[in-house]
Amino acid sequence: MPTVQGVINSIIFKNDENGYTIAKVNSGNNAITIVGTLPYIVEGQEYNITGEWVNHAKFGEQLKVTVIEEIVPTSKAGIEKYLASGVISGIGPITAKKIVDFFGERSLEVLDNNIERLNEIKGIGSKKIELIMRSYSSQREVRGIIMFFQGFGITPNGAMKIYKRFGGNSINVVKDNPYILTETITGIGFKAADNIARHLGIDKNSTFRIKSGIKYIINEFCAIGNTYMPMDKLIAKGKEILEVEEEALNSSIYEAVIEGKLKVEDIEGSKGVFTIPFLYAELGVTKQIVTLAAAHYDEMDINAEEEIRDFEVKNNITLAISQKEAVKGAVNNGIEVITGGPGTGKTTIINCIVDIFEGAGKRVFMAAPTGRAAKRMSEATGREAKTIHRMLELGAGEEDVELYRSEEAPLECDVLILDEASMIDINLMNNLLNAIAVGTRLIIVGDVDQLPSVGPGNVLRDIIESQAVKVVRLNEIFRQGRESMIVVNAHLINEGKMPMLNKKNGDFYFIESGEGEVILEEIVSLINKRLPKFNKKWNKMEHIQILSPMKKGIVGVDNLNKELQDILNPKIKGKAEKLFKDTIFRVGDKVMQTKNNYNMKWTRYSHGKEEGIGIFNGDIGYIIDINEEEDKVVVNFEDDKTVEYEDMYLEELTLSYAITIHKSQGSEFPVIIMPMFMGPPLLMNRNLLYTGITRAKQLVVLVGSPKAIQFMKDNDRSFERFSGLKWRIKQIFEA
């Protein structure tokens, strides 16, 4: 990385909240612009600056700072000039001269260590001294923290995150426990924390380090969908990453158990290690499922057979036997699961159930995990449906995020219908069930053959396989479904059969293509020219979505987004853009939030001004502004929430012209295009292919190798998820 030495000539912009700064630097005969998290730099001060050159669309070449070191003057003249520059509030040229005349070359040392000695100088009043002490102390604190962490390879942006979390005590907190960074600071992993620990002299075999490493390993394992880690896997991974003996690992695990930080349980004959939050989440879901299944419900004066007949006549339809069973089950049971693929009539059943309960004077709530799924539920039923987070009334407490609806303040409804349940992870389900009062009927609807939730757990499948609740499986495809090759092929694939391709006037097409670059060219042609020409109602940005099985590779999501951005939202003069790490964000870009952020503030203007917090994994929106002065990227999401992203949150945002199939769960798009290529067997499976094609409402286009389609539909292997929920529920009912 290039390094320059220069004097700050002028500070063009500084955001006091996050420290983002734009400044002009005189370096030799050159004037350069620097940008970055630089909260403490001042005009007139000299620095060594390391970074990378970037080209800004409007302002040209800039040095994006990764490391900055203050060059402190040592001569009396240099110190006086430094202090006179305005570096410290309360010290101007006259006061600077007084300080240097009195303390000489020791002036900066005095300010650092004995600033109260300013009282010894005649002509500097007590109020001015108080202002100087406050300013110098604050500036020195931030500068010292950033300098400290820069020494360990932490960027100024990362150091500011640490400072915002721990304040002036940041260095002491991290010295006491470097590994706290992995738990509290987004973007700082175990390796970075371990590097700090090593430089601080923490022994490789210290129990403290091993315990932190164990927690990190379990959390990483749970981040890919598990709620616990098998003991044998934990020991093997611990030996590999921490480079310590098995005996030390076992000892640290059981010390953590005694301290109440981990729990080891025998699950179906094998030892599993839980972190406490996931343990409590599983226990909470188990308790509520068992309670709802076993509770006594008041019999309602409803003749289900008559109600079903009335619904059939009113809607001019005939329900299948399994659909009638599902409706009766909802009336007669406290909790029921309805599962089935596309075209099997899940929405019709929901409409019938709602009609019956509302006709009986019952209050019915409807919810889904994502905004898109809730909106689709509302459109299909003509009634309000909310996201689970919104229904639980997400709010911010004094220290943490709170859900207002809970055991103490349950949801005020008689019936709760929950759609797209395959997407719900163990934590969200626990929060939801905690807010359901005993006596409330719960109807869980979802497609168990889709991919499981992005978050930890295997909730829908575990509840079904526990055999503790009423489950109705829908298998019959109805007339409208039989007319769609998307629906027909989804069921064929689910049965391990080859889909029917390129049926005339159909909605499911396959374009055979070569590898990599050839598939990419075909996809670009489809989205940019052929499909919008085929149907003029399809907007290439809004209606056509690329779904890829993987992130990496030529037709992986990362590369597809770069290629499609250049075509669908190209760089043009006057259009604002911002480089963050290796991603260019540009006004007009289609973007996605990649993790739940319960603290992110949003504003909605559709019906007056409404404010709230919480942006969630999978939310899709468009960049409507890049505020260059305040260095903020402004995104308008599909539910009309407008959010301002500062630098520290941009890592949660990604381009979404192409998204992974996993990230598409719960969403539907008019048109989807999927590249078909050979990849890792555990990833390229039937489950993934099935989930991908069922995201389309009007058209599916597969591009690539017929061998890849054949392989995926034959491959029913998938990543094993380690979850104890099914075992817990079965254990109670069997007892």
Binding-site annotation, residues for ATP: 343-347
Q: Report CA torsion sign: 540, 541, 545, 547.
A: positive
Residues making up the binding site: 343-347
Displacement of CA 594 from its chain's centroid (Å): 3
Tokens in use for 567? 């075509």
Q: In sequence order, which residues have a C-beta less than 8 Å from that of residue 189 and are 6 or more positions away?
A: 182, 216
Among candidate residues 184, 203, 199, the one with its CA nearest the CA of residue 150 = 199
Are 328 and 321 contacting, i.e. CB atoms less than 8 angstroms apart?
no
Among candidate residues 536, 533, 492, the one with its CA nearest the CA of residue 710 = 492
Q: If 0-12 CB within 10 Å is exposed, 13-18 middle and 19+ buried, where does residue 25 land? A: buried
β-strands 3-14, 46-56 pairing:
antiparallel
Helices 207-222 and 246-258, axial angle in degrees (round to 10): 80
CA end-to-end span of the chain, whole Å? 65
Could you give the dihedral angle defined by the CA atoms of residues 21, 12, 64 and 36, in that order, rounded to the nearest 10 degrees? 0
Displacement of CA 196 from its chain's centroid (Å): 27
Query: How many Å apart are CA 695 and CA 579, to the nearest integer?
Result: 31
Helix (H) / strand (E) containing 548: strand 544-548
Are 676 and 703 contacting, i.e. CB atoms less than 8 angstroms apart?
yes
**Would you mind telling me the total number of residues written for the chain in this entry?**
735
Query: How many Å apart are CA 174 and CA 469, to the nearest integer?
Result: 48
Are 577 and 54 contacting, i.e. CB atoms less than 8 angstroms apart?
no
| φ/ψ (deg, to 5) at 511 | -110, 110
Query: How many Å apart are CA 143 and CA 108, to the nearest integer?
Result: 15
Helix (H) / strand (E) containing 541: none
Among candidate residues 604, 666, 633, the one with its CA nearest the CA of residue 422 = 666
Q: In sequence order, which residues have a C-beta less than 8 Å from that of residue 391 and are 6 or more positions away?
A: 365, 367, 405, 411
Q: In sequence order, which residues have a C-beta less than 8 Å from that of residue 306 and are 6 or more positions away?
A: none
Among candidate residues 377, 359, 436, 367, the one with its CA nearest the CA of residue 405 = 436
Tokens in use for 435? 């807010």
Among candidate residues 575, 509, 512, the one with its CA nearest the CA of residue 704 = 512
Could you give the dihedral angle defined by the CA atoms of residues 524, 525, 528 and 530, in that order, rounded to the nearest 10 degrees? -150
Are 304 and 260 contacting, i.e. CB atoms less than 8 angstroms apart?
no
Q: Which residues pair with 626 in a beta bridge?
A: 633
Give the strands of the sheet with 386-387, arranged side by side: 386-387, 364-368, 415-418, 441-446, 335-340, 470-474
Give the strands of the sheet with 632-637, arranged side by side: 610-615, 597-604, 641-645, 632-637, 620-627, 590-593, 653-655
Query: How many Å apart are CA 330 and CA 431, to the nearest integer?
Result: 22
Tokens in use for 277? 């939050």
Q: Which residues pair with 278 in a beta bridge?
A: none
HSE of 409 in the Cβ direction (CA atoms, 13 Å)?
Answer: 8
Are 547 and 661 contacting, i.e. CB atoms less than 8 angstroms apart?
yes
Tokens in use for 472? 């109705």
Query: How many Å apart are CA 218 and CA 376, to the nearest integer?
Result: 36
